């Protein structure tokens, strides 16, 4: 049997080097994924994402709270290079807004996590049996500490399903509409949705919000089973299915983004 030929060596071109570029240069010039660059600050590096918008009249900067990144909206004639320079000119403004963002709260012992809007302290109980339970303003988690995050998140999702499903069935019965399916997910920009086939979907993070807010989102989506719009009849029906709609909407506008910080590393 003939022996395989050794791999061919490709000669290096003059002027090239294998040395890595300085970290500041890599941050400025190398995107972390297609369409994304990195913007360096004193204490962090933040993704800089470009989005084209034909209706935009000027370059706009906004923060994506869910992903903790900067989004640069470009009008038709603007280039990414112009958008990057605009972001650098407004680096102070961006830094101030990033500093105001709430820090991530890992699901581990000692952390404060809201349950239906009420803060609960997580307590690791390695010597106890069971998995996760709630007692006297605390969320207790048994077992090995490396499994705590997964167990607490799974428990929160089960609690969310229990609270949401019983409300969905009760409110759907009031308006005489069937439900084909209820799913829980973790979307970044919406708290619930309703399809024309009677399929409802909710964010499991609603279990972290006050009870009135969770109830409002359920009422909102159930009302869509009868009124697939946001007209006057829809809002009248929503008000019949829940209380404090204005309070709940205002709470979500002001505090909704903060619910995504729980469970992050």
Q: What is the pLDDT along the chain (265 residues), one digit of tens a residue?
A: 444 444 444 444 333 333 333 333 333 334 445 456 888 876 678 888 999 998 889 999 988 776 678 899 999 999 999 999 999 999 888 888 877 777 789 999 999 999 999 999 999 998 887 799 999 999 999 998 889 999 999 999 999 999 999 999 999 999 999 999 999 999 987 999 999 999 999 999 999 999 999 999 999 999 999 999 999 999 999 999 999 999 999 999 989 988 988 987 6
Per-residue model confidence (pLDDT) at position 129: 78
139 forms beta bridges with 122, 134
**CATH class for domain 112-261?**
alpha beta
Per-residue model confidence (pLDDT) at position 36: 61
Is the whole-model pTM more than 0.75? no
Domain assignments of the chain as residue spans, ordered by start: 25-100, 112-261
Per-residue model confidence (pLDDT) at position 85: 92
Per-residue model confidence (pLDDT) at position 66: 64
């Amino acid at each position: 049997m003939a022996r395989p030929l050794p791999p061919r060596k490709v000669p290096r071109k003059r002027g090239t080097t294998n040395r890595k570029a300085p970290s500041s240069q890599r941050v400025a010039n190398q995107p972390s994924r297609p369409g994304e660059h990195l913007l360096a600050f004193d204490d962090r590096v933040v993704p800089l994402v470009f989005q084209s918008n034909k209706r935009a009249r000027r370059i706009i900067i906004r923060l994506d709270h869910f992903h903790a990144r900067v989004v640069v909206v470009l009008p038709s004639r603007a280039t990414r290079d112009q958008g990057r320079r605009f972001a650098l000119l407004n680096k102070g403004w961006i830094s101030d807004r990033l500093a105001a963002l709430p820090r991530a709260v890992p699901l581990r012992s000692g952390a404060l996590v809201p349950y239906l809007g009420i803060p609960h302290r997580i307590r690791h109980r390695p010597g106890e049996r069971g998995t996760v339970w709630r007692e006297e303003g605390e969320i207790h988690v048994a077992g090995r500490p490396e499994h705590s995050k997964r167990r607490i998140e799974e428990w929160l999702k089960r609690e969310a399903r229990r609270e949401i499903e019983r409300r969905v069935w009760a409110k759907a019965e009031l308006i005489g509409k069937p439900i084909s399916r209820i799913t829980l997910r973790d979307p970044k920009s919406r708290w619930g949705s309703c399809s024309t086939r009677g399929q409802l979907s909710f964010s499991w993070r609603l279990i972290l919000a006050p009870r009135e807010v969770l109830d409002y989102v359920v009422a909102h989506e159930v009302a869509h089973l009868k009124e697939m719009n946001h007209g006057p009849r829809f809002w009248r029906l929503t008000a019949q299915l829940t209380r404090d709609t204005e309070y709940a909407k205002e709470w979500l506008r002001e505090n909704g983004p903060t619910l995504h910080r729980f469970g992050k590393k």
